[in-house]
């Protein structure tokens, strides 16, 4: 198997603001894994908070010698080698995992979800994300998002109620909110949880920083809404310690190292009776379609990262009437458009 890669900047349609920062593009790396005339596609997307860069991903990928593997079906062996090549580097690892699943699916001539025996009708609606902004811009964005059945609203600055009131003056759609660790105090967080419940919000993602587990556990125990971990969870090893602290977890391929790791996290979280959401970074349809293959297994999906950019060079998963429609193209379900 021959691995090649090239950097790619994902141009955001709107400047994206969350509680911690704003940005206009997201650095990414597109990779190809070639074997006997077939090409598996993968992608690493690197939002700044995860600390990976195009340089760090290139450095990690350059270290790998995948030509030593003659059988791509030995996914466990290959990914164990990739995992042990260096610590961290989860977006880089995810790109290899994705390309390998794409390649194996192409060799079997089936999309991954079929190989796993999943029912695509069980995929949920996807939420569409609206960043923190002025009431005027929020109003425009809610109107642009008319075809989505669920909106995910970024909160965590001092305009939370204004934003929710603005949205509720336009639509009665179900909402979920992502605080990105922006709330500071557990009592205020609990007051907001009750207020948001009255506003028909379904759950709250990462309300506060995850370093005070006692406060989060208290909030989860007392909150009328489920509390979902995002920044507080990264890999498979983080799942068990969060049982009893959060109601559920948001899994992202770029955080956990890819589809195989994500699958294991979903199974473990289910066994622990925790809710599961699958989310994403801004990315092309390559990484989004890879994540979509797992959506029949989750409660909620937030796979809109490809819709937030204006230079997607893949086509794959579609959103039809707000619902995820997994692509039937073999592998992770993508075609390159350029």
Give the interface with Mg ion as residue ranges (CB under 5 A): 178, 205, 230
Which CB sits closer to Mg ion, 232 or 284? 232
CB of 12 to Mg ion, least distance (A): 16
State how far the alpha carbon of 58 is from the alpha carbons of 78, 212, 241, 245, in Å: 18, 35, 32, 36
Closest to 131 measured CA to CA, from 39, 233, 12, 45? 12
Question: Does residue 108 contact residue 115 with C-beta atoms inside 8 Å?
Answer: yes
CB of 22 to Mg ion, least distance (A): 16
Q: Of all residues in this chain, which one has the CB nearest to Mg ion in the complex?
A: 230
Dist CA 122 CA 322 (whole Å): 14
| Sheet (strand 248-251) strand order | 127-130, 150-154, 175-178, 201-205, 227-229, 248-251, 275-278, 300-301
Closest to 219 measured CA to CA, from 198, 191, 243? 191
CB of 4 to Mg ion, least distance (A): 32
Dist CA 4 CA 58 (whole Å): 10
Question: Does residue 57 contact residue 89 with C-beta atoms inside 8 Å?
Answer: yes
CB of 280 to Mg ion, least distance (A): 10
State how far the alpha carbon of 186 is from the alpha carbons of 163, 215, 223, 233, in Å: 21, 6, 10, 19
CB of 269 to Mg ion, least distance (A): 16
CB of 180 to Mg ion, least distance (A): 6
Secondary structure (3-state) at 85: helix
Centroid of chain to Cα 247: 18
Which CB sits closer to Mg ion, 160 or 205? 205
CB of 96 to Mg ion, least distance (A): 24
């Amino acid at each position: 198997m021959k691995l090649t890669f090239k950097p790619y900047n994902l141009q955001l349609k709107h400047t994206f603001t969350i509680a911690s920062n704003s940005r206009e593009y997201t650095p990414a790396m597109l990779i190809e894994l070639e074997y006997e005339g077939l090409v598996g596609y993968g992608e690493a997307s690197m939002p700044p908070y995860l600390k990976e860069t195009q340089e760090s991903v290139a450095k990690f990928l350059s270290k790998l010698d995948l030509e030593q593997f003659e059988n791509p079906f030995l996914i466990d062996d290959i990914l164990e080698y990739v995992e042990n090549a260096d610590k961290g580097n989860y977006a880089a690892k995810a790109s290899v995992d994705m390309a390998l699943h794409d390649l194996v699916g192409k060799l079997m001539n089936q999309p991954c979800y079929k190989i796993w025996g999943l029912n695509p009708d069980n995929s949920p609606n996807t939420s569409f994300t609206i960043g923190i902004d002025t009431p005027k811009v929020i109003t425009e964005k809610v109107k642009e998002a008319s075809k989505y059945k669920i909106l995910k609203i970024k909160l965590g600055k001092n305009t939370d109620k204004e934003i929710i009131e603005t949205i509720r003056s336009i639509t009665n759609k179900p909402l979920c909110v992502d605080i990105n660790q922006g709330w500071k105090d557990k009592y205020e967080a609990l007051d907001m949880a009750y207020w948001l419940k009255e506003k028909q919000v379904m759950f709250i993602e990462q309300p506060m920083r995850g370093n005070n587990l006692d406060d989060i556990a208290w909030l989860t125990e007392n909150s009328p809404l489920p509390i979902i971990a995002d920044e507080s969870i990264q890999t498979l090893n983080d799942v068990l310690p969060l049982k009893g602290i959060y109601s559920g977890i948001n899994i992202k391929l770029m955080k956990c190292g890819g589809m195989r790791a994500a699958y294991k996290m979903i199974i473990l979280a289910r066994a622990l009776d925790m809710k599961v959401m699958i989310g994403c970074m801004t990315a092309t349809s390559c990484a989004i379609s890879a994540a979509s293959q797992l959506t029949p297994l989750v409660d909620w999906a937030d796979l809109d990262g490809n819709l937030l950019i204006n230079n997607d060079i893949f086509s794959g998963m579609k959103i039809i009437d707000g619902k995820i429609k997994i692509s039937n193209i073999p592998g992770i379900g993508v075609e390159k458009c350029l």
